[in-house]
Amino acid sequence: MTQPFAQGEDHPACGICPAHRLPREAFVVYDRPSRECPFDPNDGLRYTADGIPACVHPDKVGVEPDRVAPPPEPPAQLIEEPRRRGWFRRR
C-alpha cells in the first residue's frame, strides 16, 4: 500500500484532510473551500462531483492547488433590487 502524503502527527494538514489517509495522486487540492467539493459528514472528507477526495487548504498541505474554486456568490440579503425611476417630467 502507498504511504499517505501527510505523515507524522506534527504535519500542519487538518485532521480530516485526505492527505493524512491517501497518497498525493489520490486526491485533488482546491485553493479554498467551495460548493464544488462539499463536505461529506459520513466519512469526514470533501469530494468532487466525480467522487475524488479533495483538500481545500493547500498552504497547510504544502502543495500548489491543482483546482481553482469558483468565486463565491454574494449572500441573498446583499443583492439589491434595481431601483425604479419615476417617469415624470419636471416643469
**pLDDT tens profile 76-88:** 666 566 666 666 6
pLDDT value of residue 6: 86
pLDDT value of residue 90: 63
**pLDDT tens profile 14-71:** 888 999 889 999 999 999 999 999 999 998 899 999 999 999 999 999 999 999 988 8
Q: How far is CA 49 from the centre of its chain?
A: 12
pLDDT value of residue 79: 59
The Cα 13–Cα 7 span in angstroms is 9
Closest C-alpha to 58, from 35, 28, 34, 16? 28
Closest C-alpha to 25, from 56, 69, 49, 55? 55
3-state class of 55 per DSSP? strand
Better-scored residue on pLDDT, 91 or 16: 16
Cell of 66: 491543482
Asked if the model's pLDDT at residue 13 lies above 80, the reply is: yes
The Cα 43–Cα 60 span in angstroms is 20
pTM tops 0.85: no
pLDDT value of residue 69: 86
